[in-house]
Every structure is written in C-alpha cells, then in structure tokens.
A and B are shown apart, each in its own frame.
Chain A
C-alpha cells in the first residue's frame, strides 16, 4: 500500500514539475495589446464617489469622467462640459452647457438628466460632495444639454471640487445609479470589464469614445485609448513591485520605495524611473479639542520644538526626494505664499521649553498616533518624539496599524498628534480636511472662519493667492496642523510604455506599448 501511495505521489509530482518547467514566458502569443500596471493595493471599491482614496480615482478616471478637469498647469478646464460655466453677476448661478454626442459605455448619449442625477448622488454619497452640498442651493436640468447650479453663497473651490479625480463628481449613466453601484457605466476612454480581487481590475478600450479635440494637457484635452486592455494589478509589497519592474513583468509600477532608485537607474535602458515633483506632503494633525494640546500656546511650543527638516530627512533619506519649505503650495503656483514661514522649521528646544513652561505645561505626555503602513510616517514619529524630549516635553508613541489609526483619530480622547500625508492638490479646500469644519483635530476658530470665508468667496484667481497667505498665516499661528514639507514620488515604467505623462493620479490614455 505504502509503495503504491509513494509511487502515485512521485508520479504526480513529476508530471506537475514537467508541466511547469519550460523556461521563459509562455504567454506572448496573440494577446491583445495590454499594459500590466502594478498598483500599491487592491482598490477599496470601484465606486468613484464612494471614497477619496487615490487608488480608486487613479483606476476609475479611465472609466468615468467629470464635467471639468485639470490641465498640465492645474487650471480647471472643461471635460464633459462644453466650456467653463457661465456665472451670473452675483456669482451664485452657474449655467453649464454639456458637450453633445458623448456616449456612455452602454451606447446611450449623455444628457443633462444624467448629470443632475450624478451630481445629486455625489452630494449624498461622496465625502467631498457632501462638503459641496452645504454650499449648493439647487441643481436642475434646463433642456437636454444644459444644467443650472445655484449656490447659497459664492464658493470659489466649486470647479476644483467638480474636477478632482478622487471622490470624483463622476457622470454616471442615470439608469445605473444605486446606493451600491453594480454596473460601472461611464463615458471614459476605457470601460470596466472584470475585477478579480488581489489579481487585477481589467479595463478595455471603449470604441465609441467621444474625445475632446484640444491637444492633450495634463488630464485635459484629447484622450485616446491606444492600448486595448489596461490591467491594474494590486502588488502591495513594494519590493515585489520593484522586482517585477526590473524583470520586465510590469509596464508601470506605482510608488516605489525611494531606496530602490539606485537599482532602477542601474537597470539599463529597459526601465525608466519616474520622479513626480511635489507629489504630496506629510502633515501632523493636532487635537485642538481635548487633551494637553487643546492649549494653543502649548501647540505653538511644540511647533517651535519641531524640526521638519530632520523629519523629512528621516522619512525620505535622499535629498532628491523632498523639499523643506514653509510655503504650503509650490513655488510658481497661484497660491504660493511664505506667510508665517518664520514659525516653520525652528527646532529650538530652549525656546520651546520656555514657551511650554509659560503655557503651564507640567509633564503630561503628548500622545503621538502613527502607523507603519507608511514607513515614513513611523520614521517621522520617531524624530518627533526625540525633538519633543529635547524640549522637555514628554512624548508617548502609539504605533498602530492604519485601520486602527483611522478609527482612533475620530475619538478626541485618544490622541494628541497623528501623522498622515496627502497628495499636493491645486486647491486648499481639497486637502487637508482640517481646513473644513468637523475633521479630526476639530479645529474651529473665528480667525480660521474669517480667513477661509474671504478666500472661498473670492472668485478672482489673481486675488486668491494673497488671501490664501492669510489662511496659511492663521495655520502657523494657531497650529491646528503642521505641513512638514513636500515629497516627490518615485515610480517606474518599462521603456516600451510610451507617451506616459507623470501625474499625481497616473493615467494611461494616450500611452502605448511598443512591440505588443
């Protein structure tokens, strides 16, 4: 019996081994042109409105389109709308004319009813849309291709909010709208085909796509699906993304560890490292509601103790990957301002100690909540604790996983500072959420409200820059959060992926795969 068992066992193993042994890739035959795109995780959902997660926006912006989008210089330009909206003199009524002949993936033409229903869903479902809903009086269809949006008060961030690919104000086919989307029918250059969790999300070219005619610029202008099939492959392990890129398995790999730059550069001509400048910013949120840092003078003392330069170095290592500067918006952009910059990167333990003593600090621990989901958060937290200690302030590190952090930060009793980061967006009202009311940290003050009201109601872009400076000044004065600096991201593409434009939410229309 045992010999029989063994014999069967051995023969089965041998046959399996023989099956698998032929060397070299086996599947190069007659496949459609396709790109394998290694992403950092499995998308939380495919509902473009359901979350503000970048990954969901990155994937679903190929399927769904908003009324407006951003060009290469972060200007808001029309996408499904025909042109920028016509605003009434009081700035309250916006008339949006839609493009004609735009087809959904089910073949039906997009009309104003789809837009009204979609925006209404967005204002009910999307965290971003809910914020906008507070400003909106009504949305109505005025004919098949015209939508009228009325505001309660002038609200300058409106178009940016409508344009962002995350938590997107996506235009859905009205008949697919449901609390939980089942059919993902949009107007984008790619249509949704299949999702196999932890294996891939598959999009295929939409042959009936109605492209804009303007030349491509950023997310705007002409979009052409040159690759037949896009495969977004979740590869959460960063090393595996690096190895897969080096071995030629992936055409694109998103967000690689900065330590891998050396290997990517040495890999030869088949792999091209991509650095996206000012990709995002880490920020430290302070609990202004309860606990030891509810005291504004003590928050100021902590700000004096902190050295963002050291934190960024610990977080990103290579100086090519970060910038230490007080301006919350990059130089050369409309909102660039150094207001309050003298309070940034002081790293002065003596002054901090004195200030803390004046604020009545008597040794209570400052609880720092951070996660190792992002290693740079953890590294920054270690430096923070050290800098606080030098200033005689007791620090207590609470290192938890990300799921715990996003839960605990909603309870003001549990923490004093938490570490997070955000993408660098062109409009402050998009991030960080602490600029709105009610986000963790619960920052609310008359100075904040006055500065933000002035900023949000000013429709003239030329004047908004100076008004943002005033908001930034309040942030440095009241210390609801600290914008630590800016970091660049590292991604990589295979040489054969051509026409790729580096961007915050990578897109793959207008790109092609040579030799596939």
Chain B
C-alpha cells in the first residue's frame, strides 16, 4: 500500500514538472502584452518598454523560467502584475467560493444522478428509464450559460429568491455567501448529473447480470437489499470515478457558470488572467489546478481500495 502511494506520488511530481514547462512555454509563446494593457491607450512604445524592465519581462525566456522555477520550489508562485498581491494570496481568496461551489454542485449532481441512474437500470426499458435517459441527454446538451441566464431570469429577476450574481457584499456571513451559490450550483449540478445518470445506469446494468446477484435473489433476499447492498455497492467503483472527476473538473472548469454568475472562483481567475496576460497568475493557478487534479485522482484510487477490496491486494 505504502509503495503504491509512493509510486503514485512520484508520478504526480513528474506530471507537475511537465505542466510547469508547458504552461510557461504556452503563455509566453502566445501573443499579447500585459504591460500594454496595464498602461492604457496613451502609453507609447517607449513607456511600455520601460515598464517591461520593471516587471522583469525584458529578460530572456530561459532566465525568466529559471527564476520562476526557483521561486516555485520555495513555495512562492510569484507576484500578479494586475492584482497587486502574490499569486498564492489571489488563489487563497478564490479557494472558498470554488470549494463550496464544486462540493455543492457535485452533491446535487450525485443526488440526482445516482438514484435516477439506479432507477433507470432497475426498470430498464420501461417508461421511467426512457424518461430519465431522455432527461440525461437533454441535460448533457443544454449550454450552461443559457441555463444560468434562464435560472437568473426566473429566480432572481422575477421571484427575487436568490441574488443574480456575485458572492455577497463585503463582510457578510458564510450563509449569505452560500445563498449566492444556490443558482450556479444548481446549473452545474443538473448539467453534470446527466453523466452520472448514464454511468450509474450502465454500471448497475452490468452488475445486475452477475451470478452473485442471481444467487442473492435465490437466497430469498428482498429486492431492496439485493439492489442497495449487492448491486449498488459493486457498481460504485466507476461511479466514484466519475463523481471524483466531475469534482476535479469544477475546480478550474466551471468557467462559464462562474462568468455568468460573476463568481470570484478559480476558473474566473484563470480566464481573466489569460485575457490580460497576467503570466504569474496563469502559471501559478494552472500548476495548482493540475496538482489538485492529480491529487483527486490519487484519492479516487484510494477510495477504490476501500470500496473494492480486490484492488488492495
């Protein structure tokens, strides 16, 4: 077990180094200039060149890369060009909304997806299966910005139950901030539940054909016990994977929803940093997201071991 974890951690490090090199190369190869944006329309080429020196952007790329790697090795992700704070601080400020949004959305997705998938599998081919499958297809096809705008229109503009956007006024309590997450989490949850429905259905269908299910039934166990204890438990491995991956995806990938609801999340941070070419923020954030992604994969593997004892051996 320990060897397994150590081996995976080694792999993680290799992935992160690769990510660091690629992210640095890609951001610098892309055209665009943060300093020209920073100084505004009246700045001359001379002004821009002067300011580039101030931010160390005039140095050769390899020197800049070496400097960055040295900083990262010391746990310092650099200083944002636009936000007037270290990248680590900017990230820490985004951690809360992103964490709650992702957890909240995955919870909604799992709460919808697992029971619906289970029901669709158990009553395979019946009306309820067809309805759930159709809804899942629809859910997977609806663009999130559209659903977001519709929910805002209904629940914020007409009914006034939830705020249309943002993450609460300065200094409001956590519960008020969570109140701002209901609509975006619903959008993400509903859309992502489609995948979970389909995965659960497929996985449960596989298990239902297994010999031990027939054995359980022939032992005279009630259908409820058979489904919940024997089938669902064994079907959980792929479901856990997809739930975990959905969670990982939301850490940096809820960009569209975050934009529509103007949430100060990590996805938003990356996109805005890309638009203004805030190199240290792009590099630092992508590195951290990659790290979290790899970590979640590691945790999924560990959960496999808990759910399925065969993997432990």
- In the complex, A9 Cα to B107 Cα: how many Å? 8
- Min CB distance B184 to A, Å, is 11
In this assembly, does A86 line the interface, its C-beta being within 8 Å of a C-beta of chain B? no
- Min CB distance B201 to A, Å, is 17
In this assembly, does A194 line the interface, its C-beta being within 8 Å of a C-beta of chain B? yes
Tally B residues with Cβ within 8 Å of A.
76
The answer to whether A249 and B165 touch (CB under 8 A), given A12-B107, A24-B160, is: yes
Asked whether, in the complex, the Cβ of B157 is within 8 Å of the Cβ of A16, the reply is no
Asked whether, in the complex, the Cβ of A422 is within 8 Å of the Cβ of B264, the reply is no
In this assembly, does B313 line the interface, its C-beta being within 8 Å of a C-beta of chain A? no
Contact of A237 among B160, B161, B173, B260 (CB under 8 A): B260
Tally A residues with Cβ within 8 Å of B.
79
The answer to whether A233 and B39 touch (CB under 8 A), given A195-B84, A248-B160, A403-B33, is: no
- Min CB distance B272 to A, Å, is 7
- In the complex, A236 Cα to B256 Cα: how many Å? 12
In this assembly, does A462 line the interface, its C-beta being within 8 Å of a C-beta of chain B? no
The answer to whether A243 and B149 touch (CB under 8 A), given A249-B165, A401-B32, is: yes
Contact of A239 among B41, B54, B149 (CB under 8 A): B149
Contact of A44 among B37, B54, B233 (CB under 8 A): B37
- In the complex, A5 Cα to B303 Cα: how many Å? 10
- Looking at the complex, which of B6-14, B126-134, B174-182, B209-217 is the stretch in contact with chain A? B174-182
In this assembly, does A46 line the interface, its C-beta being within 8 Å of a C-beta of chain B? yes
In this assembly, does A211 line the interface, its C-beta being within 8 Å of a C-beta of chain B? no
- Min CB distance A193 to B, Å, is 9
- Min CB distance B310 to A, Å, is 14
The proximity string for B residues 106-130 relative to A, scoring 1 for CB distances below 8 Å and 0 otherwise, is 0110110010000000000000000
In this assembly, does A221 line the interface, its C-beta being within 8 Å of a C-beta of chain B? no
- Looking at the complex, which of B42-50, B62-70, B288-296 is the stretch in contact with chain A? B42-50
In this assembly, does A408 line the interface, its C-beta being within 8 Å of a C-beta of chain B? yes
In this assembly, does A21 line the interface, its C-beta being within 8 Å of a C-beta of chain B? yes
Asked whether, in the complex, the Cβ of A2 is within 8 Å of the Cβ of B41, the reply is no
- Min CB distance A495 to B, Å, is 16
A-B contact pairs, 10 of them (CB 8 A): A2-B233, A3-B229, A10-B111, A51-B38, A52-B41, A127-B43, A244-B165, A249-B163, A408-B31, A410-B36
Contact of A27 among B43, B169, B306 (CB under 8 A): B169
Asked whether, in the complex, the Cβ of A243 is within 8 Å of the Cβ of B165, the reply is yes
In this assembly, does B277 line the interface, its C-beta being within 8 Å of a C-beta of chain A? yes
Seen from chain A, the residues whose Cβ lies within 8 Å of a Cβ on chain B are 1-3, 5-6, 9-10, 12-13, 16-17, 19-27, 31, 34, 36, 42, 44-46, 50-53, 56, 127-128, 130-131, 166-167, 179-180, 194-200, 202, 229, 231, 233-237, 239-240, 243-244, 246-249, 400-404, 406-408, 410, 420, 422, 431, 433, 438-440
Closest to A200 in B: B170
The answer to whether A198 and B182 touch (CB under 8 A), given A19-B175, A127-B40, is: no
Contact of A438 among B39, B41, B44, B149 (CB under 8 A): B44
Asked whether, in the complex, the Cβ of A249 is within 8 Å of the Cβ of B110, the reply is no
Q: Which of A26, A31, A194, A410 has most B Cβ within 10 Å?
A: A26
The answer to whether A34 and B272 touch (CB under 8 A), given A12-B107, A16-B178, is: no
Closest to B309 in A: A1
- In the complex, A131 Cα to B149 Cα: how many Å? 46
Contact residues in B for A36 (Cβ distance below 8 Å)? 169
- In the complex, A6 Cα to B104 Cα: how many Å? 15
Closest to B180 in A: A20
- In the complex, A42 Cα to B90 Cα: how many Å? 13
Asked whether, in the complex, the Cβ of B172 is within 8 Å of the Cβ of A402, the reply is no
Asked whether, in the complex, the Cβ of A20 is within 8 Å of the Cβ of B40, the reply is no
Closest to B54 in A: A179
- Min CB distance B116 to A, Å, is 14
- In the complex, A393 Cα to B178 Cα: how many Å? 57
- In the complex, A422 Cα to B41 Cα: how many Å? 9
Contact residues in A for B172 (Cβ distance below 8 Å)? 26-27
In this assembly, does B259 line the interface, its C-beta being within 8 Å of a C-beta of chain A? yes
In this assembly, does B83 line the interface, its C-beta being within 8 Å of a C-beta of chain A? yes
